[in-house]
Amino acid sequence: MATHYRALFISDVHLGTRWAQAPMLLDFLAQARADTLYLVGDIVDFWRIRRGLIWPDPHGEVLKAILRLAHDGTRVVLIPGNHDAGLRAYCGTSFGNIEIRQNAVHVTASGKRYLVTHGDEFDVVVNRAHWLALLGDRSYAMLLALNRPFNAVRRSMGMEYWSIAAYMKQRVKSCVSRASDFERSLVGAAREHETTGVICGHIHRAASHVVDHVHYVNTGDWVESCTAAVETASGKLELIEWPTSSTARGARDEPASPMGAAA
């Protein structure tokens, strides 16, 4: 039986790349229902598609699943990110039960207000050195390609999975975060919108903690970690890693890191 949530937040799926964990997301969407589904940017990776179309059947099935949810009454709010920024031209419009917004304010069952935004607007590399962002994107793809042969050798030696791409990305992202003060910039945006929290994506690192009395939530991604943020019936925000400990783990290219629930 599907688990019902008041709201579900997903970002950074990057459909159109060979790294998107579309089968994992399909499995998750088949077992999760929500009154509102927020797609918090970079659902389709138009950067990569411009260099050549990669579109396995599961990628199309993800979009069909989202359309079915909208048809069945789920409110779907699409907030474009930097990899699908072309959709920002349509912000403020609606297609059936799907709304396209630059950002949104979500009100929980307990009355707390959260700014929902992809977050790339607060990334100095994306905004001030776009060429460096493109270079980083290609470098990340190369590292993801190296993960498979590297971990095949590790498995043959009885060693656990270890992601070169995740390690290097976090090292670089940590430097960028310190330079741009990404989290604090988002916290400042939350204050400008008079919200008690912010929910974002972009940096592919799931998180839930308080920064200067503002609740910062990052949904993670569906490339390596397969994580989402959810709001329960009581209004509590939690991070979910898929599959959860209560579900059977299927075959996947990139195992997820341990992730616990966060208040």
pLDDT in tens, 20-32: 999 999 999 999 9
Enumerate domains of the chain plus CATH numbers. 3-241 (3.60.21.10)
Q: What confidence category does residue 50 fall into, taking pLDDT thresholds of 50, 70 and 90?
A: confident
Asked if the model's pLDDT at residue 258 lies above 90, the reply is no
- Distance, in Å, from the CA atom of 203 to the CA atom of 223, rounded to the nearest integer, reads 12
Mean pLDDT, to the nearest integer, of 193-214?
Answer: 94
DSSP the chain: -PEEEEEEEE----BTSTT--HHHHHHHHHTEEEEEEEE-S-SB-HHHHTT-----HHHHHHHHHHHHHHHTT-EEEE---STTGGGGGGTT-EETTEEE-S-EEEE-TTS-EEEE---GGG-HHHHH-HHHHHHHHHHHHHHHHHHHHHHHHHHHTTPPP--HHHHHHHHHHHHHHHHHTHHHHHHHHHHHTT-SEEEE-SSS--EEEEETTEEEEE---TTTT-EEEEE-TTS-EEEEESS-TTS-----SSPPPP-----
What pLDDT was estimated at residue 66? 97
Which of 42-51, 171-180, 249-258 is predicted least confidently?
Answer: 249-258
Q: What confidence category does residue 136 fall into, taking pLDDT thresholds of 50, 70 and 90?
A: low
Q: What confidence category does residue 179 fall into, taking pLDDT thresholds of 50, 70 and 90?
A: very low
| Average pLDDT over all residues of the chain | 82
What pLDDT was estimated at residue 15? 97
What pLDDT was estimated at residue 45? 94
pTM of the model: 0.77
